[in-house]
A and B are shown apart, each in its own frame.
Chain A
Amino acid sequence: MNQYSIWKYLAILIIVIVGAVYAVPNFYGEDPALQITSSRGFELPADLTTNIDDALLVEQISFSSSEQQGNRLLYRFKNTEDQIKAADVVRKALGEQYVVALNLAHATPDGLRAIGGKPMTLGLDLQGGVHFLMQVDMDTARSQQLDRYVDDIRAVLRDQGIRYVSVRHEGNGLLVMLRTAEDRDQTLNLMRTDQSLVGLDILELPTGESFGISATVQEKQLLELQQTALKQNITTLRNRVNELGVAEPVIQQQGADRVVVQLPGVQDTVEAKKIIGATATLEYRSVDETNDAFTASQTGRIPPESRLYTYQGNPLLLKKRLIVSGDQLIGASASFDQQTGQPSVSVTLDGVGSKRMLDFTRENVGNRMAVVYIEQKPSGSKIEDVISVAVVREPFGKRFQTTGLGSIREASQLSLLLRAGALAAPMEIVEERTVGPSLGADNVAKGFKAVIIGFVLVLVLMAFYYKVFGLVANMALFANLVLLVSLLSMLGATLTMPGIAGIVLTIGMAVDANVLIFERIREELRNGNTPQASIRSGYEKAFSTIADANITTLIAAFVLFLFGTGPVKGFAVTLSLGILTSMFTAIMGTRAVINLIYGGKKRVTKLSI
């Protein structure tokens, strides 16, 4: 007879139930919520919740729950009105150290969340937001690295008191020219052993009029440096996005030199682009007081240790040697200068930076120090602006103020960029996709409508065409949809419009397996076999056909997955998962139900097919 063993029925039942449980979170809505994170990515202190709870209590704003998820706090509210009011209150209570962002948290019940239940994430095309694909300009990154080697070699030679003719980078290599053979040998030795100069292939040039050393940076070292640059860029972008207060952003490396940035819910792309794309940093340099800037700019004879800038229309010579650069900065906030009332940025330096600053200011009281603002343009050019020149009045180290900014808005933007850090290598936006919230909602509505209409049409056709067997196939189709949705939710897949199309297509094709089986059963009946034997051989004979047909489709879906990006990948994922779940429901699932209906009976004379 056609019977499955008990464990097989049970296994099928359990799989379908588990699937249903994990699909359920998709039917709960979303709560308006506040997301609180530390602006510098620190651990959240334990008493933070009490502070927030108190602040909300004072203003009599009630919240439904609060929880800590890793490095963020989530407060849920009953309605958006409370949420917006609370945002203001919390922002005021916590100050600049924390970022308070409006968020929509999914309202999955605690029990479901405890077992990892979560809804599918909607793609940007469904919920609205911005997608950027940014490419790191590796050529510039490479030449920046060579510049750094040049600086380091100069520093080493200076420290050892070796006088050089020149140190410069040429093409992909470095060239060091010295005066004597003795100097050269000593330099060679230093370059081979110094800790700051690793990763160089060093070559002694044939002795001519001068004594030279050429060096090339090893390919491995360059690649490593580029990877570091990319990683640092990602960290910087993450800090900046954090500063923007975007909930659930995606920042990922794609390929060797690209970064994907997705900001759901962000509408002001202009502001987002400005913050994300900016590559600003500050450098503190001392003013060259021994040479005259006017003469230098008129004769064009600039002292080798200095560079010529202009400040407020006048030439200014600054020492090439840095005092402190932007990466030694750990804090920055906008404020007004207490004496002059001008907008300013208060800066805090790290240990190394504050020591260097202290050393410099101690020896240079009465001398001038300049702040250079450097912005890297996507085209590769640099803007270098001297934003302030001030006389050092007393030695200082860790904390100080920078003035000379145009407005408080400029001051706060600069402080944000300084806090978030500089990009290690310039980046360019090579792809941008922005979807407005209304279009997103439109896409969701239309997509789901298409799924439902297509689904119902197939159900009706199957029920008419295959009667009882058709109804069984419809149950399987429904189970297939549930399993597919739960798998996508469990994998944390992002649902996009092409993903919905993949689901719709899966519905159309999922019935194929059942059509194959049922046609086979009809054929067997026509050939005069008994109903029970027809069911058995129908399923058996159709199996290899179904397997072959689905495996070839899987091959196509797999290739699509390998080569596709973004939405196309989403389509490939839903299509492949749909094929797998449909094989389970259409073969095992329907067989179990058919067995329950017909399998136990001794004498079946007619099948409703």
Chain B
Amino acid sequence: MKLLNRKTNIDFMSRRNIALVFSSILIVLSIITLATKGLNFGLDFTGGTLIEVGYPSAPNTNDVRDNLASAGFDSIVQTFGAATDIVVRIPPGDVEESSAELSTRVLAALSQGVEGEIEMRRVEFVGPQVGDELAEQGILAVIYAMVGVFLYIMFRFQWRFSVGAVAALFHDIIISMGIISLVQIEFDLTVVAAILAVVGYSLNDTIVVFDRIRENFPRFRKRQPVDVINTSINETLSRTLMTSGTTLLVLFALFFVGGKIIHGFAFTLLVGIIVGTYSSIYVASAALVLLRVSKFDLMAPEKEGAAIDARP
């Protein structure tokens, strides 16, 4: 079986301006969404208390809410997966309230007026200072990852490639976060991990194309850079589709059967990998064209020979 039996020869780069407009619109839309709707920050970042309980039979969420309100809790009550599963979120309060004793009192309040026993499934309490630190660490992690990658590509390829790869990463992160914000997936630590995995994956994809470009420049000395880039993308196309395909397959498995806890993680990766595959062609490679990459960029040691070649 072969997806692409013949050698493909799609002129990707001729559509790079359309793609540039498309990506720009997506980025602007993402920034607008992020600015207006914001991220649905999870407990890890906001601090507060989350309690998941299993009821013997599906309770009325309004009753649960009233129950908690009468016990003096300002809470958000939602069902989680099944109708018998209830998640209660309590925002961080003043100093005394932020004590971990809170979860104990909430559990007591929930148990009131329930026939049979409610089952405690999960309690999470995060103090406010911990949340701030985690947010800071998350942002730092993304920045350091980018710096590391920029340097590595500069060392192995050339700075134009670094710019292309990092531009693609920015593109992927902003659009992924835009979509997370749009569908209001809970933004917690696992989503941060997923975004970093997207960074890794998108890079992987970009590097494979770059590697081929590096290989093809000496092979097709007479051709235009745009032409060489086009050929390289075509040559790696079936690999790109196959790898994205297998990864998406397992992610779908994770998304549909992995359970609610891992939902946000799987969703972020699904979005990120689709965006990342697109960006390695239309952002990373297009950036090379924009930056006027040429065969000389990758042949520093052979400058003399190249100069002779350039003569008429």
Contact = CB atoms under 8 A, between A and B. Distances in A.
Contacts of B243: 509, 511-512, 515-516
Contacts of A555: 145, 148-149, 152
B246 interface: yes
Contacts of A439: 52, 121-122
Nearest to A552: B203
Contacts of A446: 257-259, 262
B154 to A, nearest CB: 12
A351 interface: no
Interface in A244-279: 267, 269-270, 273, 277
B104 A270 contact: yes
Interface stretch (A19-27, A357-365, A564-572): A564-572
A465 B130 contact: no
Given A442-B259, A512-B243, A552 B152 contact: yes
Interface string B1-29: 11100010000000000000000000000
A3 interface: no
A498 B265 contact: yes
A438 B121 CA distance: 7
Interface centre among A447, A450, A511, A558 (most CB of B within 10 A): A450
A507 interface: yes
B120 A501 contact: no
Contact of A498 (B52, B119, B193): B193
Interface range on chain A: under 10, 10 to 19, 20 to 34, or 35 or more?
A: 35 or more
A125 B188 CA distance: 15
Given A505-B269, A544-B211, A563-B138, A556 B249 contact: no
B32 interface: no
Contact of A563 (B120, B141, B149, B205): B141
A509 B257 contact: no
B192 interface: yes
A228 interface: no
Given A454-B253, A505-B250, A511-B243, A443 B100 contact: no
B140 A563 contact: yes
Contacts of B207: 545, 548-549, 552
Given A464-B1, A575-B197, A516 B149 contact: no
A557 interface: yes
A147 interface: no
Interface string B185-214: 000011011001101110111011001100
B297 interface: no
B208 A516 contact: yes
Given A447-B259, A509-B204, A432 B100 contact: yes
Given A267-B120, A505-B269, A568-B190, A556 B203 contact: yes
Interface in A521-579: 522-523, 526, 541, 544-545, 548-553, 555-560, 562-568, 571-572, 575
A555 B199 CA distance: 10
A458 B242 CA distance: 10
Given A501-B265, A504-B254, A519-B242, A457 B249 contact: yes
A508 B246 contact: yes
B246 A450 contact: no
Nearest to A550: B204
Contacts of B79: none
A548 B211 contact: yes
B130 A438 contact: no
A575 B200 contact: yes
Nearest to B143: A559
B202 to A, nearest CB: 10
B153 interface: yes
A432 B123 contact: yes
A568 B193 contact: yes
Contacts of A432: 100, 103, 123-125
Contacts of B211: 544-545, 548-549
Contacts of B245: 461
Determine the main DSSP class of A at the interface with B. helix
B15 to A, nearest CB: 24
A508 B247 contact: yes
Nearest to A449: B257
Q: What range describes how many residues of B lie at the interface?
A: 35 or more
Contacts of B129: 430
B178 to A, nearest CB: 21
A565 B193 CA distance: 11
B199 A556 contact: yes
B304 interface: no
Interface string A439-469: 1001100110110011101100110110000
A465 B261 contact: no
A545 B240 CA distance: 13
Contacts of B52: 439
A497 B261 contact: yes
Nearest to B251: A508
B225 interface: no
B104 A567 contact: no
A553 B262 contact: no
Contacts of A560: 141, 145, 193, 196
A133 interface: yes
Contacts of B124: 432-434
Interface string B255-276: 0011101100110010000000
A442 B54 CA distance: 13
B67 interface: no
A535 B212 CA distance: 18
B123 A450 contact: no
A461 B249 contact: yes
Contacts of A550: 204
A508 B249 contact: yes
Contacts of A449: 257-258
A379 B262 contact: no
Nearest to A572: B193
A549 B208 contact: yes
Contacts of A269: 103-104, 123
A173 interface: no
B156 interface: yes
A218 B128 CA distance: 32
B60 interface: no
Given A436-B121, A563-B144, A512 B250 contact: no
A273 B107 CA distance: 14
A429 interface: yes
Contacts of B197: 505, 556, 571, 575
Given A431-B125, A498-B262, A572-B193, 7 more contacts: A434-B120, A450-B259, A453-B253, A501-B190, A549-B207, A552-B153, A559-B196
25 contacts: A270-B104, A378-B99, A431-B127, A446-B258, A454-B254, A465-B3, A497-B259, A498-B190, A501-B262, A505-B250, A505-B251, A507-B250, A508-B250, A509-B204, A509-B247, A516-B243, A545-B212, A549-B207, A553-B201, A555-B145, A556-B148, A557-B196, A559-B196, A565-B134, A571-B190
Nearest first, the 5 A-B pairs at minimum CB distance are: A454-B250, A508-B247, A430-B127, A446-B259, A454-B253
